[in-house]
Chains A and B, each alone.
Chain A
Amino acid sequence: MTLESLEKTAAEGPPPESPATAGEPTLPEPPPSAEKRFLRYGMMPHMLCPGCGHGIVFEAMLRALSSRYEQLDDIAFVAGIGCSSRVVGYVDACTLHTTHGRPLTFATGLKLARPELKVVVVTGDGDGLSIGGNHLIHAARRNVDLTCVLFNNEIYGMTGGQLAPTTIPGAYTSTSPQGNAETPFDAARLVEAAGATYVARAQSYRTREFEEVFLQALDHRGFSFVEVMTDCTEYFGRTNRLGNGADLLFSQARVEPAIDADLAGRSTLQEVPPRPVRPVLEMGVLHESSRPTLDQAMKLSGAGS
């Protein structure tokens, strides 16, 4: 698709499928996707790298939303700064691309101002756990009624692959050239301890499971948190010689022992070097509880201004 045609689709929506030219090899038609109607075509082309896990997760988010909503008029998407945060701009909804680390502060204000709106925060591991870590624990403590999806790719992608508070021990980044000496945060356990009432973890490798917990998080009344492990191919993958996007997805799978055994015999799987080793992380719903949300406790009516 050319830039001009993308500009054109800003106003017109997706272009009609062009008929295959005679003589050119034809690819099988992709199945029609409901989620595409939520795309903001004027924002294309997107800025994600080939193989980036964020695109996989983003598509899964849209698919989940399309199973629930006809239009996204009453959902606000709020994001910070970073590769993951950029995806909110690609959703045809009220979207707010805020400052680095602060999306939850904007989201808290918006939710209290307009309790009837559904608020979804998209953040990254640098945005949400490093510069925005304080806001994350306070939003969880307050049980602000919103859904926070944290894309964890263990690195700062947008700025060029620097160390994150989630980078696994020993991993190489542009600011840990000798290997990471620090211990990473467990985001899910952190927000659970801070008071979040729904906590789940998923992977870009298993999007159905992600969609499931994302929908549960949307349905949950209170602060719901989904950490989703995704891969930065260009920086994390290359710097640590972990292969391409597909290899990284397989390496996500490998931390699950059963899948690892299943994959062991496959010749296509690139051998993962001994370092860094991704820890085995518990996936699925990690915590669920119920207590009054902040707007309930403040007795806000939801009538707006």
Chain B
Amino acid sequence: MSQQLIQGNEACARGALAAGCSFFAGYPISPSSEIAELLARELPPRGSVFIQMEDEIASMGAVLGASLGGRRAMTATSGPGFTLMQEHLGYASLAEIPCVVIDVMRGGPSTGLPTSPAQGDVMQARWGSHGDRATIALAPGSVQEVYSLTIEAFRLAETLRTPVAVLYDEVIGHMREGVELREPTPDELGRRTSPRTAFSPTFLPYAPDENGVAMVPDFGRGYRFHVTGLMHDERGYPTSDNAKVAELLERLERKLEPAVAAVPPERYRLDDASVVLIAYGIVARTARAAVDVLRREGIRAGLLRTRLLWPLPAAALTEVSRSAELVVVAEMNRGQWALEVERLAGDTTVLSPYLKAGGSVITAEELAGHVRRLTREGVAVS
């Protein structure tokens, strides 16, 4: 199949269309606006809906309303907008409403660096909404992967009935690469859970299936039921029964586990590595180049490139971080994912993250230099 030269944000919109997205509500914000602009052109001729809402709170509300109506629905934003969406992301998690949110990360906090890349929203994606919200966040590392992981985000959202965030930075959003726009198979699209029984007065919209996913029908399909952001029982009715609430929270976390196997990390030259770089997104590209540079210098370096930030791919991180002598988490923030790796790594592993939050990408030379300095100091045996 032929490739097309497109930017990351266009690949995202193309992926959404391929995934059957038929509803977009959003609010302009750099550096994500191209996604909305492209879908504003592409959705209406297909009989689908594009609407620019009055703000990001409204955008996320409209997405959830549309999803309850049965649409595959999404929005796209950047840091400040992602912040405004957090309450409705919490709502979507608890009420089990599928949706996809693209966050093209820019420098923060606050208005920050609107047109510069960053990876500062990793913890916001995890903990931005109040309460113990389990969530899925994907981190594509190329324009091609923006396309494929946007499709995967819809599959995970629909099959697990949860919001899924796709986090990439401004560079990937605006970078142009050759992309193969392969149509997804039915398995790659996935299907939303739906009730297995006809409506009756004893119908339980929030009864989970064998995978722990509630089988909530779409509105207006013959089922009368209640959806709320309050803690609820299987009827969907509010409850403050401690045991039921605890069980619900546990189920909402457990049901997301399949995401870990679905989006495995990429291992590069890890087999004999004593120095392990861990990176995601754009930094994984330069980290890979850094591995090659270090290998040429005789340093046994390798890379674990994760495409899944949440739920944490803990098994893979534990394995590589305990087998290495030196682990370097490289990310464009003040150390967010590095903290997660730190608590998984063994006592004998030296951890020395390479962090850069100034608004530009970590280069291969910067990262290789960091490792070189450490090995010269005798941290890792090459």
Contact = CB atoms under 8 A, between A and B. Distances in A.
Interface of A: 10-13, 40, 42-43, 72-74, 76, 78, 89, 92-99, 102, 104-114, 116-117, 134-135, 138, 298-301, 303-305
A61 B100 CA distance: 36
Given A105-B58, A112-B51, 17 more contacts: A73-B222, A96-B227, A98-B91, A99-B87, A99-B88, A102-B58, A109-B67, A110-B65, A110-B219, A112-B62, A113-B23, A113-B68, A113-B69, A117-B219, A117-B220, A134-B54, A300-B49
A74 B220 contact: yes
A205 to B, nearest CB: 30
27 contacts: A10-B201, A10-B235, A13-B201, A89-B237, A94-B219, A96-B65, A96-B228, A98-B91, A102-B61, A105-B60, A108-B62, A108-B65, A109-B25, A109-B62, A109-B64, A109-B67, A110-B66, A110-B69, A111-B65, A112-B23, A112-B66, A113-B49, A113-B70, A117-B220, A298-B44, A298-B49, A305-B70
Contacts of B62: 105-106, 108-109, 112
Interface centre among A13, A102, A134, by most chain B C-beta atoms within 10 angstroms, is: A102
Contacts of B25: 109
A102 B73 contact: no
B283 to A, nearest CB: 35
Contacts of B22: 305
B229 A109 contact: no
Nearest to A100: B87
Contacts of A104: 61
Contacts of A95: 225-227
B65 to A, nearest CB: 3
Contacts of B225: 94-95
B334 interface: no
A305 B71 contact: yes
Contacts of B72: 305
Contacts of B238: 89
B54 A40 contact: no
A106 B219 contact: no
B47 A106 contact: no
B223 interface: yes
A135 B25 CA distance: 14
A83 B53 CA distance: 27
Interface residues of B, number: 46
Interface of B: 22-23, 25, 44, 47, 49, 51, 53-55, 57-73, 87-88, 91, 201-202, 219-220, 222-230, 235, 237-238
A303 B55 CA distance: 27
Secondary structure class of chain A's binding surface, majority of residues: mixed
A135 B87 contact: no
Contacts of A105: 53, 57-62, 65
Contacts of B227: 95-97
A74 B218 CA distance: 12
The 9 lowest CB-CB distance pairs between A and B, nearest first, are A105-B61, A109-B65, A109-B62, A113-B69, A110-B65, A106-B65, A113-B66, A109-B66, A97-B228
Given A94-B220, A97-B226, A110-B66, A134 B55 contact: yes
B49 A138 contact: no
Contacts of B51: 108-109, 112, 298
A305 B224 CA distance: 19
Contact of B69 (A72, A298, A301, A305): A305
B47 A300 contact: yes
A18 to B, nearest CB: 21
A117 B224 CA distance: 13
B49 A112 contact: yes
Contacts of A110: 65-66, 68-69, 219
B228 A135 contact: no
A157 to B, nearest CB: 17
Contacts of A299: 44
A72 B65 CA distance: 18
Nearest to A304: B70
A218 to B, nearest CB: 16
Contacts of B65: 78, 96, 105-111, 113
